[in-house]
Amino acid sequence: MQSSPKKSVYARTLTFLTSSVLFLALVGCSNTDDASPDLDETTDASASETTEFVPASEEGPAQNVPEPRLPAVTTEHSHEGAYAALEYFWEAESYASLTGDSGPLSIVSSEDCAFCTESIEGWPQNYDEGYWSVMDGDIEVDVTEVVISDEEDENQNVAHVYFELTEPPTDFFNKEGMRLEESFDSSEVTGWLAELVYDPTAQSWNVKWIGLEEDIVWDES
């Protein structure tokens, strides 16, 4: 299958943020302070190391965002396994957009997936340069159909997952704390399709392709 360059509002915003920082070199950073606190500062230091979730706002990015957990059912070569892998993919996408950590997203993404690569590389770059996201709600995935087939030519077990994606209103801020014009104020529901490939050796599903269903051009040759 092939798709047109058109993307959802969410993906277009991601592209804008990614392209706006591509010319900048990545700078390694750490949240850990190597300096040992003085004894009289110990109480203050421990108090700041809270694990309580702090939602993102115009004041700054989210803190202590719970990392999504990969369900055990995703190891199964089944409709349920593909379904769960896709749901986890979007949980990981949301997590990356709020934290800049795309590690969980990499777990269920194929190297061949353009959308996946854009997210995996883009979100860390955005956060390294001071950008952050504020989502007014959750990304919702409503799977309508899962079709599993064996593609003998490629010796792959493939699942095509049709689903509706609800993207919540989202604000994007730059390092100066200014709200970007690419923010959007209303939710959007669109039809999507994902192609997942099952690896029997690793016992895992990976997203090979994902995009808007209306933009798919099927190759009938």
β-partners of residue 63 are 54
Q: Which amino acid, 82?
A: A
Distance CA 31, CA 132 (A): 16
Position 220 pLDDT exceeds 90: no
Q: Where are the domains of the chain?
A: 72-214
Residues 6+ away with beta carbon under 8 Å from 201: none
Q: Residues 200, 103: contact at Cβ < 8 Å?
A: no
pLDDT range class, residue 155, cuts 50, 70, 90: low
pLDDT range class, residue 18, cuts 50, 70, 90: very low
Structure confidence at residue 218 (pLDDT): 58
Structure confidence at residue 213 (pLDDT): 86
Structure confidence at residue 78 (pLDDT): 95
We find that the CATH architecture of domain 72-214 is Roll (3.10)
Position 13 pLDDT exceeds 50: no
Q: What is the pLDDT of residues 47-98, one digit of tens each?
A: 456 789 999 999 999 999 999 999 999 999 999 999 999 999 999 999 999 9
Position 177 pLDDT exceeds 80: yes
* DSSP line for 166-218: EEPPEEEE-TT-PBPTT-B-S-EEEEEEEEEEEETTTTEEEEEEEEEGGGEE-
Residues 6+ away with beta carbon under 8 Å from 150: 156, 157, 158
A 10 A CB-CB count for 101 gives 15
Q: How large a percentage of the chain has pLDDT more than 90? A: 67
